[in-house]
Amino acid sequence: MNTDSSDDIEDVSLFDADDDVSRRSKKSEIRHPVASFFHLFFRVSAIVVYLLCELLTSSFIACMVTIILLLSCDFWAVKNVTGRLMVGLRWWNQVDDDGRSHWVFEARKVSAQGGKTSSEAESRIFWLGLITCPMIWVIFAFSALFSFKVKWLAVVVMGVVLQGANLYGYIRCKVGSRKTLTSMATSYLGKQFLRQTMATEDQAAS
């Protein structure tokens, strides 16, 4: 005797699983591939040209001009394009009606649904390039200084200044104003001092 087993079949909704998969894919996907490419292209190219310029050409002027052009393009692209698209941060200088200059640091507000408009993959690419390259230029600066390559020192200092300015600006956007940074540093130092004081008192009591 055949029995109908249709009553034992239960429909299971797959929407939750689909949502989880879509959320993971959105976190890992690169939404702005062109911006991500140029975020690294100019700064990495400047470093590569600096390292290989003596092998490629004997003209110091050509190397210097090429590196400065790459650094300038990187400064403009990171400050005006890639920071806004990849992590939702931007900073700029404006002059008020009284002629006074003000630095403005902004971070994109989270949407009402709590979603982020930038992916985690883009955020990693942005901060990795933003932090690593200035550190490399600082190493180049010490290398040029201790090896007495005075003619290269101006080029290296330009790399430190331009890329360090973007790093400082975006850290200010991410963390907050200078007052916030000062309060964070003061709070950290206060906690360290209190911890050392308590440790000293415990040692004296024992």
pLDDT digits (tens, 9 = 90+) for 51-104: 998 888 888 999 999 999 999 999 999 999 999 899 988 888 888 777 787 788
DSSP element (H, E) containing 182 = helix 178-205
In a domain, 20, yes or no: no
Q: Residue 21: helix, strand or coil by DSSP? A: helix
- Domain assignment present for 18: no
pTM: 0.68
Flag whether pLDDT at 28 surpasses 80: no
Q: What is the number of domains present in the chain?
A: 1
φ, ψ for residue 123 (rounded to 5)?
A: -65, -40
Q: Which residues of 112-122 are buried (b: 16+ CB within 10 A; e: fewer)?
A: eeeeeebbebb
Residue 14 lies in a domain: no
* 27 domain residue, yes or no: no
138 within domain boundaries: yes
11 lies in some domain: no
Is 10 a domain residue?
no
Which helix (H) or strand (E) segment holds residue 52: the answer is: helix 33-56
Q: Which structural domain range is residue 39 located in?
A: 33-108+118-199
Contact 71, 103 (CB under 8 A): no
Q: What is the pLDDT of residue 43?
A: 95
- Give the separation between CA 127 and CA 40, rounded to whole angstroms: 11
Position 33 pLDDT exceeds 80 = yes
Please report the pLDDT score of residue 64 as a whole number.
93
107: helix, coil or strand? strand
Angle subtended by helix axes 33-56 and 60-77, to nearest 10: 170
Residue with tokens 């000062």: 182
